[in-house]
Amino acid sequence: MYQPTDLKKGVIVQLDGKPYRVVDYNQKVMGRGGSIVNVRLKNLIDGSVLPKTFKGQDKIEPAEVSTQSVQYLYNDGDTFYFMDPTSFEQFELAADLVDSAKDYLKEGDTLSLQFFDGKVINVELPKNLYLQVTYTEDVVKGDTTSSVLKDATLETGLVVKVPAFIKTGDVISVDTASGEYRERKKQCPESSWEPLSSRLPAKVRYGRDSTHTPRKAVYFLCRVMFRLEYPRDVIKTT
């Protein structure tokens, strides 16, 4: 059983035999250590939204859902289509039930669907996803600190706030629960391996040809150099 404080956004519960997903959560602390929790629950069968208040000692039944790995195919605006890559069985889910998950779906992606009583009720996303920036404004030269934020449009159409140093074409990690930027993906192109090999200590080289450097060692050095040049791009959100 769930406690009221367990009902964070995205949790699926069962009320009167029907599955609901928590879409909004607010806890209010009362006197003498008590509290009440106000939530908005979305019915995963008909899409209706139910406001509900729980007290500290209330018990909430979790929904008995099963999970299946599928591939996202496409959508026609009203319905989203998925396929089991093993059996090729297809599943449909109404757009209003896909909800905000649609902002993270790319054709061909593998993800999970949740089932209740044999029916698809929810798209389960990973906590973080990497998406490419398709458009963002350039900033004034020199004004690229992580405290300056701007809008960036991602490949799925989602618009997020990103630091000023993010450029069109960059791949960034996004928190799927909050829709917030996490970090920029680091990439170490193979084209940089050869010139970097000359900086490795002789003891990591092998074979008769001293210019033949192990790929793993060069890749490691490349990652270290990128880390020094581009420190972890994390911004504090409040």
Beta strand pairing call for 90-94 and 79-83: antiparallel
**Residue 144 — φ and ψ, nearest 5°?**
-125, 30
The CATH architecture to which 4-62 belongs is Roll (2.30)
Q: Which CATH class is domain 67-124?
A: mainly beta
Domain residue ranges of the chain, discontinuous segments joined by +: 4-62, 67-124, 128-184, 190-229
- For residue 228, the model assigns a pLDDT of 46
**Residue 203 — φ and ψ, nearest 5°?**
-70, -15
* Residue 205 pLDDT level (bands cut at 50, 70, 90): very low
Q: DSSP 3-state assignment of 66?
A: strand
Contacts 24+ apart (CB under 8 A), 150-157: 152/181, 155/106, 155/131, 156/102, 156/103, 156/104, 156/105, 156/106, 156/131, 157/103
Has domain 128-184 been given CATH number 1.10.645.10?
no
Distance CA 51, CA 47 (A): 13
- The reply to whether 4-62 and 67-124 are identical in fold is no
231 half-sphere exposure, CB direction, 13 A CA radius: 4
Give the tens place of pLDDT for each residue, 12-38.
999 999 999 998 999 888 777 678 999
Q: What is the pTM of this model?
A: 0.63
Contact 153, 103 (CB under 8 A): no
* Residue 87 pLDDT level (bands cut at 50, 70, 90): very high
Strand partners, 114: 67, 122
Distance CA 166, CA 162 (A): 7
